[in-house]
Structure formats: C-alpha cells, structure tokens
Amino acid sequence: MAADPDCIFCKIIAGEIPCFRLYEDDATLAFMDINPANDGHVLVIPKEHSADVHAVSADAITATVLTAQKIAAAVQKTLEPDGLNLLQCNGPAAAQSVFHFHMHVLPRKNGDALKMNWGLNPGDMDRIGEIAERIRANL
Ligand code: DGP
C-alpha cells in the first residue's frame, strides 16, 4: 500500500500517531477529527496515500465513500444531528490542509455557526451553459 513517510495521515494509519479510531477495513480508516467543527466530526481516509481527488485511485475513492456512508449512518444513530455534510477539500484555496485524500463526515445542527460560503444566487444561464460546454469537452 503506497505511503508517504512525511504524511500525518499515513503516520496515523501506521499507528505512529495516536487517534480515536472508529472503524478500519483493508482499504480505509475512520477516526475522529482533532479539530472538530462540531461534535462527532469524523475523517475517513483511504490507506493508500494520494494527495487529492486528482490523484486518488478509483478503488480508493470508492472504498472511502462507502466507509463514509457507513460512518454517517452510525453518527446519525448516535448523535441524531439535524443534518450532516460529507465534505472533501482539494487545494489550499478549497481549505485543504492535509494532503492525503480524505472525506469529512460533519454533523450539523440547526443554527450552528458553520457556513458554506456561497449563497443561493441566480446564475447567468449563458455563462453556465458556456462553462458546461467547456467542461464537457474535457470529459
Ligand atoms: P482539510 O482541511 O480538509 O485538509 O482537513 C484536515 C483535517 O484534519 C482538519 O479538520 C484537522 C484534521 N487533522 C489534522 N491533523 C490531525 C491529526 O493529527 N489527527 C487528527 N485526528 N486529525 C487531524
């Protein structure tokens, strides 16, 4: 399994750094985030090291999403949050701080202070259509 000796999450997988482990299988590990945005904030990572969504393998991302769904169900049953975000960040501009692909399982409360920093503003349909065409050309 590919590992990066300088990666903090690889060290957690190897047991070199402690964590509150929730679940582990051959491909993934789920553990509590030490900087929780809300109670019950969990991280799910593939054991195979890759930096982000552009680098992660299809098998690793699939396994990570399936474990995140399992953890989300357990968090929902345990804490009964009002809502729950599955979140995944790529690059510093998207607030990625650890460069080992991971998903956040983040319970939400009505009225909590967490913000998704975009509003529901009507888009310019011409611009949306033009950008869709450009992305389609790269699929
Ligand atoms: P992101 O910003 O999406 O890259 O999220 C990284 C998360 O990892 C952040 O919420 C804090 C958490 N984190 C960083 N270092 C550690 C650690 O050593 N242990 C644990 N459990 N979580 C960590």
Question: How far is C-alpha 57 from the chain's CA centre?
Answer: 15
Ligand 1, atom nearest to 17 Cα: 18
Q: Is residue 3 part of a domain?
A: no
Phi (first) and psi of residue 45, to 5 degrees: -130, 150
Into how many domains does the chain fold? 1
Ramachandran angles phi, psi of 138, nearest 5°: -105, 5
Whole-model pTM: value is: 0.94
Q: Quick check: is 83 in a domain?
A: yes
Provide residues with CB under 6 Å of ligand 1: 8, 17, 19, 31-35, 43, 89, 95-98
100 domain residue, yes or no: yes
Q: How many residues comprise the chain?
A: 139
Query: Which among 8, 34, 44 is the best mutation to test ligand 1's pocket, defined by most ligand atoms within 8 Å of the CB?
Result: 34
Residue 44 belongs to domain spanning: 8-137
Compute the distance between CA of residue 1 and CA of residue 88 in angstroms, rounded to an integer.
22
> Which domain CATH number covers 110?
3.30.428.10
What local confidence, expressed as pLDDT, does residue 69 receive? Answer: 98
Active site residue 102: yes
Q: What is the pLDDT of residues 85-127, one digit of tens each?
A: 999 999 999 999 999 999 999 999 999 989 876 777 889 999 9
126 is a domain residue: yes
53 domain residue, yes or no: yes
